[in-house]
Amino acid sequence: MNIKNFDLNLLIVFKTLFEEKNVTKASKKIGITQPAMSNALNRLRYLVKDELFIRGPRGMRPTPRANELSLPIQTALNSIEISLSAINFNPKTTKKLYRISMSDDVAPVILPSLVDFIDKNSPASSLCILSEQGNQALKLLDKVGGIISLGGDHTIAFPLLRAINKINNGPVALVHFDAHLDTWDTYFGSPYTHGTPFRRAREENLFLDDASMHVGIRGPLYSRDDLKNDAEFGFKIIHCDEFQTQGTDKIAERIRKRVGNNPLYLSIDIDVLDPAFAPGTGTPEIAGMTTREMVNVLRGLSGLNLISADVVEVAPAYDHAELTSLAAATIVYELTNLFAKVKR
């Protein structure tokens, strides 16, 4: 076939007929008369040397040859459309604003590379990231006043604290159960990871520096500066080995004294538990809390002004006999009991 004598509009006729399986519907979709559509189909049949579409009880049935042609014709038309629509687009000079909505636990993985790429290839454009967790949390908080969020990566705590601050009109007490501090400036070079949420939260003054603390800490440090920086952020620390020397009643009393009457956000990383009780997590640390200790401490916080909480870092792929899922579900149940006892 000599392409020079081929009317490319016939490809649009073919594509539309293939989709609609009806001459009348196809002609209306393209914006031509039914006789013109029939004439175009006859031209196609002559050029391709095939019936292409055969009339049947359910409309126009494509022949095997039509089925073969469908994908390459669709691909060709898509390529033409994309090429023509991009004629006036120059990424080097465009000042477009790109809005992207993404999950906050995915953002730390994607954003650094995406920002670098845009800076290099489209320096005049700008990027707006819409926080999925933060937006959804705000909608829920407007309706119910308090939420329990399930993770997932611990990075969700950052946008959730932002949302809580907006509803609360200011910072809140933060009690963070975890094997790790999660106040590093960067983790593997990235500022937004599961090891940095409370560093970012402190930079935005999202929690009260005289009413916040870590509980269950025992993970490794990069240097003594980790503890020094953490103290400067206002955190007090209850180390995991203190459970053995003080017991859960004393630990709960220390938390209550620290929080006082302030609105409280609880953030619970499942790796605060010993791997014997929660093996399904990304960064397990030995010598952790038992599930009994966790439940007893939470029950000891009854009456505090709990406004929201999260339970994070549950990784079912690493779990055994659903031990971690059971532990997380039980913790969530205990949190709902704490909510029920808050006087609002």
**Domain 3-85 CATH (choose: 1.10.1040.10, 3.30.420.10, 1.10.10.10, 3.40.50.720):** 1.10.10.10
Q: Over range 204-208, report the average pLDDT.
A: 96
Do 152 and 312 contact (CB within 8 A), yes or no?
A: yes
CATH 1.10.10.10 positions along the chain are: 3-85
Do 162 and 204 contact (CB within 8 A), yes or no?
A: yes
Q: Over range 235-249, report the average pLDDT.
A: 96
Distance between CA atoms of residues 324 and 278, nearest Å: 4
pLDDT band of 86, cuts 50, 70, 90: low
Distance between CA atoms of residues 281 and 275, nearest Å: 8
Closest to 129 in 3D by CA, of 165, 104, 164, 94: 104
**Domain 134-340 CATH (choose: 3.40.800.10, 3.40.50.11740, 3.30.40.230, 3.40.50.10320):** 3.40.800.10
pLDDT at residue 222, as a whole number: 74
Residue 258, phi then psi, degrees to nearest 5: -70, -40
pLDDT at residue 132, as a whole number: 66
pLDDT at residue 50, as a whole number: 93
pLDDT at residue 123, as a whole number: 86
pLDDT at residue 216, as a whole number: 98
pLDDT at residue 324, as a whole number: 96
Q: What is the pLDDT of residues 247-301, one digit of tens each?
A: 999 999 999 999 999 999 999 999 999 999 999 999 999 999 999 999 999 999 9
CATH 3.40.800.10 positions along the chain are: 134-340
**pTM (predicted TM-score):** 0.66
pLDDT band of 89, cuts 50, 70, 90: low
Residue 110 scores a pLDDT above 80: no
Closest to 3 in 3D by CA, of 66, 76, 62, 63: 76
Q: What is the pLDDT of residues 223-238, one digit of tens each?
A: 888 999 999 999 999 9
pLDDT at residue 106, as a whole number: 61
Looking from the CA of 201 toward its CB, the CA atoms found within 13 Å total 38
